[in-house]
Amino acid sequence: MSTSFHFYEPRQGHGLPHDPFNAIVGPRPIGWISSRDKAGILNLAPYSFFNAFNYVPPIVGFASIGWKDSVRNIEETGEFCWNLATRPLAGQMNQTCAAVPPETDEFALSGLTPAPSRTVGVPRVLESPVSMECRLSQLIQLQGADGGKVPTWLVLGEVVGVHIDRALLKDGVYDTAAAQPILRGGGPADYFTIGPEQLFRMFRPQL
């Protein structure tokens, strides 16, 4: 147990060369979000402030720092898809974060193929081994502890359809590591991926 801790209050600054927040709360799964605007123009962008929040019904969510095209589209149509970003797709995932005008289709920009969804009008990424079709359930503007509004929006969606590459189902059980998901660390460029060597099992205590 260490007796020396760096302590900081974020509103007063972290006092370190880089803000450690992202590196500490990490690695984070990536919400690779496809959406479509009213006119039908497609959009694809990565969001690492992303996670799952509920089992039944399954709910996923991501936070957009600023009112970005993905949020605007999802507010307009009420739909989006989450696509799994994997090690083989890392370079193309990165291309889709480019700050391009709303009329630019990031599928075309990154050489990815839009595949029709079953339950929503927004396409998924064909090359991704797992996609979830989602319907917007809540769109929440974040606020600080003082109640002051923050220019960040949390987009929550109910998962209404799931596509899984059968190669990732071993005897019907989804193999997380086999998908080679990529996860975001801190700093400008840190990512992690996982393999079977990171797996350990621990069951809950039986009372």
Q: Which residues bind ligand FMN (CB under 6 A)?
A: 30, 43, 45-49, 63-65, 68-70, 94, 97, 99, 184
* Closer to ligand FMN by Cβ: residue 45 or 130: 45
**In angstroms, what is the minimal distance from the CB of 135 to ligand FMN?**
18
| Local structure of residue 86 (DSSP, 8 states) | B
| Local structure of residue 19 (DSSP, 8 states) | -
**In angstroms, what is the minimal distance from the CB of 27 to ligand FMN?**
10
End-to-end CA distance of the chain: 29
Asked if residues 80 and 60 have their Cβ atoms less than 8 Å apart, the reply is: no
* DSSP per-residue codes, 107-136: HHHHT--EE--SSSSS-EETTSSEEEEEEE
**In angstroms, what is the minimal distance from the CB of 203 to ligand FMN?**
32
**In angstroms, what is the minimal distance from the CB of 204 to ligand FMN?**
31
* Closer to ligand FMN by Cβ: residue 15 or 40: 40
**In angstroms, what is the minimal distance from the CB of 170 to ligand FMN?**
28
* Closer to ligand FMN by Cβ: residue 63 or 132: 63
d(CA 116, CA 205): 44
* Closer to ligand FMN by Cβ: residue 102 or 169: 102
* Closer to ligand FMN by Cβ: residue 69 or 79: 69
**Which among 162, 106, 93 has a CA at the least distance from the CA of 131?**
162
Residue with token string 């990536």: 30
* Closer to ligand FMN by Cβ: residue 143 or 199: 143
**The two three-digit tokens of residue 11, written as one number:** 């509103």
**In angstroms, what is the minimal distance from the CB of 91 to ligand FMN?**
11
**The two three-digit tokens of residue 178, written as one number:** 């086999």
**The two three-digit tokens of residue 90, written as one number:** 């890392």
